[in-house]
Structure 1
Amino acid sequence: MRELYANLHQAINYRHSVTHTPPGVEFHQHLELFEIYFFISGNVHYFIEKQVYPLQYGDLLLLNSSELHKATFQSNHRYEVIVIHFSPAVIVPLCSDRFDLLACFLNRPPGEQNRMRFSTQQLEELLLIFERLEAYNKPEAAEGSEILYVAAFMELLVFLNRAFTSQLHGEEPPPIPGKLSTLLHYIDLHLDQDLSLDTLEHIVFMNRSYLCRLFKKHTGRTIHEHILFKRIARAKALLKAGSNVTDACQLSGFNDYSNFIRTFKKAVGLPPRQYQALNCKEY
């Protein structure tokens, strides 16, 4: 039993950070990890898939392992957040038939309903849970704190799922411009096809120069960077699922095999075959 709680403790990574220098954050996903992001201070817009969330004190974001995201800093104001990364695999056995602790991460469309806002009473309750997690997570915490740490995290998941259910019918933040949403959706569905600017400007009936500026303004990166990240993400998923390197190259939209190998290694840090050997259980 002690080993069980030790493993659970290690699978729940709690971090409370403060900085006056915004960190350099690129677009990313957390493979096999879910994230709880609680915003305290700063001047931040948070990009998740097709949505941009301007953040204010007390906002909480829910992110599953498939959701592409990035914090975009609007100034050098004091930046304070609480971030928890955890493995959903260790939570699944703890769910009951009547209550799914992971529902708020999974039972919604990708990139939608990520942001939660709370009443004053809810926020006070949430902050108390965070205080307990922080206290139980300290190296000098008293004996048995690893059990209380896991219990506090379970309490947090119950709290968030109840609040999420009550907010399902509330207003969602306004999406990024409709044409960009259309473009992002088109890219997702056609990664293995031609996604040149010649093609994309006709999809949304927009001049390419204005389209590029609009995309950069709302997402913080270029169209090319977005497509490249999406293609690498698809290639990684295909390799993990057991596809061979040639198929992963073609199905993710890389027409040149040598370029695929070079680009994949630069982005991931490993060539495709080595990545597959380390991450594909059936390989």
Structure 2
Amino acid sequence: MQELYQNLQQAINFRHGVTYDPVHLDFHQHHDLYEIYFFLTGDVHYFIEKQVYPLQYGDLLIMHSNELHRPNFQSKKQRYENIVIHFNPKLIKAFSSPQFDLLDCFNNRVMGEQNRMRLTPQQIDDIMKLYERLDIHSSPGSRAGSEVLYVSAFIELLVFINRIFQSQGNQEEQGIIPDKLTSLLTYIDENLDQDLSLDTLEQVVYMNRSYLCRLFKKHTGSTIHEHILFKRIAKAKLLLREGNTVTDACQLAGFNDYSNFIRTFKKAVGLPPRQYQAQQRRV
């Protein structure tokens, strides 16, 4: 039992970060991990799939492993503070009951929707108390039994988040992304195996390519090319997990050059495609 809780403690990565010079982050996913992101201070617009959220103190974001996301920092040299938890859902699932699924808010919604929860002052106070407990019980040199209390506090956090999620229901998204970009992102998602050159995309949204690129960069903090690349990598990962060959994953994800696919996949994921697929089969 002691070993079980130690493994669970290691599967829940808690981080309270503060910086005055935030590092640029590319679009990314977290492989098999889910993310809970709690915003404290800064000037940040957060991109998740097809939405861009301007964040305010106390905003809570939830993301499962397949949702592409990145922060877009609007101001430099400004205090940026957040609390982020990455965790393995496979190990947490066992703590759900038949009446209450701890992973409900991550799994039972449309991908890229209902990612943000705007908390009340009382809810912010309550969640901060849970984070304080997690911080105390994860500290080096904690007293005996801290690993049990750490896991317990995290399970309580998941119950808390799911209750908020269920109470808010399917509220209308309050992102700031223009309709033209939403249409563009939808087209990219649905046509990853097709030609997605700027020649094609400017015809899809009836917009000059220069203006389209500037608009995309303004709202996402990245380029259209980078977004397409990471989307194709994400699709390739899914295809490999589903048992497709590396060659088929390359073609179906929209990579026309096999060697480039191998090189790009390894750089983004940390493993070549075949090794990634073998690793997933062992999980």
Would you call these one fold, judging by a TM-score over 0.5? yes
Distance 1:12 1:267, change over 3 A: closer
Unpaired segments of 5 or more residues in structure 1?
none
Q: Distance in 1 between matches of 2:136 and 2:201?
A: 51
Runs of 4+ in structure 1 over 6 Å off: none
1:13 counterpart SS class: strand
Match of 1:227 in 2: 228
Match of 2:29 in 1: 29
Residue 181 (1) aligns with residue 188 (2): no
Match of 2:70 in 1: 70
Q: Distance in 2 between matches of 1:192 and 1:263?
A: 16
| 2:26–2:222 CA contact under 8 A, matched in 1 | no
Deviations 1:37-92 (A, max 9, x none): 11111111111111111111111111110110111111221111111110000111
| 1:242–1:280 CA contact under 8 A, matched in 2 | no
The Cα shift of 1:175 comes to 4.5
| 1:33–1:85 CA contact under 8 A, matched in 2 | yes
Q: Distance in 2 between matches of 1:126 and 1:61?
A: 13
Match of 2:195 in 1: 194
Which letter does structure 1 place at the counterpart of 2:253? S
| 1:48–1:70 CA contact under 8 A, matched in 2 | yes
Unpaired segments of 5 or more residues in structure 2?
none
Distance 1:2 1:263, change over 3 A: closer
Which moved further from structure 2: 173-182 or 96-105? 173-182
Distance 1:144 1:271, change over 3 A: closer
1:221 counterpart SS class: coil
Identical pairs, percent: 67
The Cα shift of 1:218 comes to 1.0
Q: Distance in 1 between matches of 2:239 and 2:281?
A: 10
Deviations 1:197-241 (A, max 9, x none): 121111111121211111111111111111111112212222232
Scaled by the length of structure 1, what TM-score is found? 0.94
| 1:39–1:81 CA contact under 8 A, matched in 2 | yes
Q: Distance in 2 between matches of 1:130 and 1:271?
A: 37
Match of 2:49 in 1: 49
Two-structure CA RMSD over aligned residues (Å): 1.6
Q: Distance in 2 between matches of 1:36 and 1:113?
A: 13
Which letter does structure 2 place at the counterpart of 1:47? F
Q: Distance in 2 between matches of 1:175 and 1:275?
A: 36
| 1:50–1:175 CA contact under 8 A, matched in 2 | no
| 2:184–2:205 CA contact under 8 A, matched in 1 | yes
